[in-house]
Amino acid sequence: MVDLTGKSVLITGASRGIGAAAARAFAEAGAHVALAARSEEAIGSIARELGQGAIVLPCDVAEFGQVADAVRATVKAFGKLDVLVNNAAVIEPIARLQDAEPGDWAAALDVNLKGVFHGFRAAMPVMAAMDGGTILTISSGAAHSPMEGWSAYCTAKAGAAMLTKCADLEGRAQGIRALGLSPGTVATDMQKTIKDSGVNPVSRLDWSEHVPPAWPARALLWMCTDDADEFLGQEVALRERAIRRRVGLPS
């Protein structure tokens, strides 16, 4: 078990899925956890479950000011920011390019790409002033392979992967560790939306093929350790058996 006692972690999109599982995993590892999401009620429920080491930060990552406020609130509550998990994301609109509503397409990038930038932009100066930290961004196989109906999601995830490379290039000398996690398909509400769409092969996967959210959460913990340093600026692919063995998951 990774020991993060005394560490301070900010997780976006913490109200459900991978974000909620990560909040529980980091808290179990001894970290103080700041839960950020648009649904104050949902993150409030999780914070009560986790106890005094958790705080609730209503936040829309599409708004830089709200992300910056979340970073400041985390530092105010816990004295520092050791880890940021850029997790918040949406899958919709699911639509072919010729049919996509431009406003909906842009709104998806506001969350999935600009939201990730906002996290880097808000956290990196704070971490640099505190001799470093770790920024983990949830990526996807969609960052590298086009999927029918997912042009907004694929484009944003590809951009987020490049942001991780840029953050590593610019931040490593300041002690900032930037890595991405490509978790494969995970049994979350997002997968239910994908399945209901009936678009592209992912929607036709059997539910048993999706990994539980606890798996990527455990991988995120491992990525905070020196054992993951070979992946700085890159992605950790949870689909790879060798990675699962290193994380301590069934391979």
One-letter amino acid of 251: S
- Please state whether 51 falls in left (phi above 0), alpha (psi between -120 and 50) or beta: left
Options 7, 76, 80, 153, the catalytic residue? 153
Burial class (CB in 10 A: 0-12, 13-18, 19+), 250: exposed
CB contact set of 194 (below 8 Å; sequence gap of 6+): 91, 94, 202, 203
157 catalytic per annotation: yes
Q: What is the DSSP letter of 1?
A: -
Greatest alpha-carbon span in the chain: 50
The residue written with tokens 């459900």 in the block is 16
- Tokens standing for residue 107: 């709104």
Options 157, 165, 192, 195, the catalytic residue? 157
Positions marked catalytic:
153, 157
